[in-house]
Amino acid sequence: MAKVTAGRDTLGEFAPKFAQLNDDVLFGEVWSREDKLSVRDRCIVTVTALMASGILDSSLKFHLQNAKNNGVTSEEISEIITHAAFYVGWPKAWAAFRMAKEVWEA
């Protein structure tokens, strides 16, 4: 996975510690532990967690794009969202589907 600098780019001057934790710990350490869980699988878990939490904004779109970039197919994301819909809520699935459709059709 490429080095993430989104924290520093977006919040670096305003919230430097949060930015450092985001870029260096979350993405630098946790996401890089591929011997424990592949980046592809982490993408699936993250998309599902964001959807379940109702985080249906640019964060979800970023992680949907990340999932696509790491090999999750449109058929797989469709199945993931459909499966999760029964556990996290139908309206959340609709919102996630709209965003996923944009990402996979791009």
What pLDDT score does 3 carry? 81
Per-residue H/E/C for the chain = CCCCCHHHHHHCCCCHHHHHHHHHHHHHHHCCCCCCCCHHHHHHHHHHHHHHHCCCCHHHHHHHHHHHHCCCCHHHHHHHHHHHHHHHCHHHHHHHHHHHHHHHHC
* Higher pLDDT, residue 1 or 19: 19
- Quick: pLDDT tens for 55-102: 999 999 999 999 999 999 999 999 999 999 999 999 999 999 999 999
Domain ranges of the chain: 1-32, 37-105
Record the tokens describing residue 52, joined without a space.
Answer: 């379940």
Record the tokens describing residue 100, joined without a space.
Answer: 């996923």
What pLDDT score does 12 carry? 87
The third-level CATH classification (topology) of the domain covering 37-105 is: AhpD-like (1.20.1290)
pTM: 0.90
Half-sphere exposure of 74 (CA within 13 A, CB side): 10
- Quick: pLDDT tens for 8-38: 999 989 999 999 999 999 999 999 999 999 9
> How far apart, in whole angstroms, are the C-alpha atoms of residue 69 and residue 44?
12
Q: Determine whether 69 is exposed, middle or buried from the number of CB atoms within 10 Å of its CB (0-12, 13-18, 19+).
A: middle
